[in-house]
Chain A
Amino acid sequence: MAEDILRVEDLRTYFYSFTKEAFIRAVDGVSFNIKKGEVLGIVGESGCGKSITAQSIMGLITDGPGIITGNIFLNNNGNTVNLLDGLPDYASIKKKRKAIYEISKDVLGWQKRSETLMNGIRGMVISMIFQNPKSALNPFMPIGEQIAESIMLHKAIATKKEALSFAAAWLERVQIDSPNMRLYDYPFSLSGGMCQRIMIAMSLSSEPSLLIADEPTTGLDVTIQTKIIELLKKLKEELNLTILLITHDMGVIMQLADKIAVMYGGKIVEYGLKREIMDNDSFIRHPYTIALLNSLPTIEEIRAKERLRAIKGDVPDTITLYRGCRFYDRCTLKNDRIKNKCKESEPEMIEIGTGHLMRCWLAE
């Protein structure tokens, strides 16, 4: 296949909590890559760090103090840039009181540098759509103006009139009726689905090489969710989009993704092509993935009005340093043979098929 658009290596995003006097390890050593025209779906429960991963890539994390380290290689028209280049590694600082000071001091410098690095990448090379589209659009600006702003920033279009007609064309592309009239509407008068279409139009209007979709269907009605997914699918085929899809919804992943990364407690526990993970029933899977898949009701079950099967237990807090596997408490597949191993040491990523990685002792 084609070259990597984005390659993330060992990304760590920690926040320092003053009240708990400890680091919250929101993202703890995440690596993945996306090739051109590919859709990578990151899936996991809420609080597993998937949104923070997206925001770290976009350089949108401004709540200091904290740590972001690792490498994010972005292919920008042939040149590869590291979005975290030159950002010093804070993770090694151990002394408690001093660490806080050092970090809060350097976060400012980090932010400045991050801003200069991201300048010309945000919106231009990587675009992003958000959950709760109604709050992601500026409530004080007509939507046409917001799309036109994005177009004028990133395309060689100088006049506002031209940009507005361009925006109308994009609105038509995301299947909005009478786009010329909609241009002057404010977000509060539009439905959530409409707002998400507008967000999609806005982020694609600059023709980015990567689209990050952070929970694009959350907060929308179920029927509208399907329509948004269909729209994304259609646009992906039309424009050969590269998408980093972040969701907690296995259904969305099943429909859109080519490649899946399952995240749990800030780490990727399973990573591979969708057909490797989903389609091959005989193939070995991570217990968490199995649990996620099992929580999806089948049509027969819905007809039989059975109760939904939730995964028992809670998401692990990301403050405690675990010695063993993070999923141990909730794991249903743990057996006596490997129990001690699961408790004592954290599994590494193990390759169990071509490009199929898994973080579980069962795989050995």
Chain B
Amino acid sequence: MTHFISWRPILKILSRELLITILLLLGVSIIIFSILHMAPGDPLHIFINIQTQNPDEIAAIKRDLGLDRWLPLQYLSWLNNILHGNFGNSFRTGRPVFNELIGVSLYTLILTIGSMIVTLLISVPIAIFSSLRRHPVLSWGLTLLAYIFSALPVFWLGYIVIYIFTHKFNLFPFLSAGYAGTAKFNFLYFLLPIIVLGVGNGAISEIIRHLNAQLERVLSEDYIKAAKAKGASIWRHSFKEGMLIPVTTMVAAKIPFILGGAVIVEQVFNWPGMGRLAWQAALDRDYPIIMGITIFAAFFVHIGRFLQTIVYLFVDPQITAKGEEA
């Protein structure tokens, strides 16, 4: 007596999902390529930083790089480069973009994932509390508070936190995560930006609203009433549909949003991540860097979506069944 998971439909759905993700990423690459070609100035400048002004030399470089070819061919060779991790060199530092991005993307991942956890730690209990309908006034107050935090400009929240910790408590000089190794309270360097982004990213109120609506809907379902009638825990029965699925949906949907918020928080806290790099690149018009960041960000977003599909697959038996029919 063992529980069989039928792998065939799951693999089928996952492979379809993978195909769609690849198609979407290809689409993103086409969009980025076209935007780069629409950019003012010679496309040559977008890919390399050249010093010469001589038209003959420029033409020669263009021929060498294949920039005089038919546009779709150019796209294919560009895509080939991207797939091999060759994003070009940064104008500012001259180093390969890919290496620079790998270095900073880890910091951004820590920041985004950490702040997502903080956001969930705040919003899930409030959502559960207000779906209980035990203390309507208190839960309304909490929801309003969540709205206020969502509306707070995250940079100003950052200022307050920095001020309190550097000036009032004198815990550490105002530095950044990059220097964290030597300081006494080094964990705070990591913790503070994560908490600030988690509290102030503006997603809390929406997550609470969605979770609350879904949880209340599930709690009024017939099967929850039946579970109650047989003396079982309604939370155990409502967990999958009322908690797991809405939380996953929201996490996947809010990843782009939090990545956007990371740009600002990294700026405020000197956090050496992708957002700060993107800001620097936008200032310097460092085309290869900003292009690489866009591709990386799209990649992160799709990893989130893919994980969401996997969670759905293992939570909801009906999706696998439908996959088998299709």
Contact = CB atoms under 8 A, between A and B. Distances in A.
A137 B3 contact: no
A161 interface: yes
A355 interface: no
B318 A138 contact: no
Given A108-B134, A130-B222, A189-B321, A184 B3 contact: yes
A253 interface: no
Contacts, number: 79
A307 to B, nearest CB: 34
Contacts of B4: 184
Contact of A199 (B1, B226, B231, B318): B226
B17 interface: no
Contact of B232 (A139, A142, A149, A180): A149
Interface residues of B, number: 24
Given A135-B222, A136-B222, A138-B223, A122 B229 contact: yes
B316 A127 contact: no
A205 B254 CA distance: 45
B230 A136 contact: no
A140 B225 contact: no
B318 A123 contact: no
Interface in A224-245: none
A136 B230 CA distance: 11
Nearest to A58: B229
Main secondary structure of the interface of B (DSSP, over half): helix
B241 interface: yes
Contacts of A60: 225, 228-229
A206 B321 CA distance: 31
B281 to A, nearest CB: 46
A197 to B, nearest CB: 15
B68 interface: no
A57 to B, nearest CB: 10
Contacts of A64: 133
B230 A127 contact: yes
A124 B229 CA distance: 9
A122 B316 contact: no
Nearest to A131: B222
17 contacts: A60-B229, A123-B231, A127-B229, A130-B222, A130-B226, A130-B229, A138-B223, A138-B237, A139-B317, A141-B237, A153-B230, A153-B231, A161-B1, A186-B317, A188-B318, A189-B321, A206-B230
Q: Rank and list the top 8 A-B pairs by shortest CB-CB distance, nearest first.
A: A123-B231, A123-B230, A135-B222, A136-B226, A128-B229, A140-B240, A122-B231, A186-B317
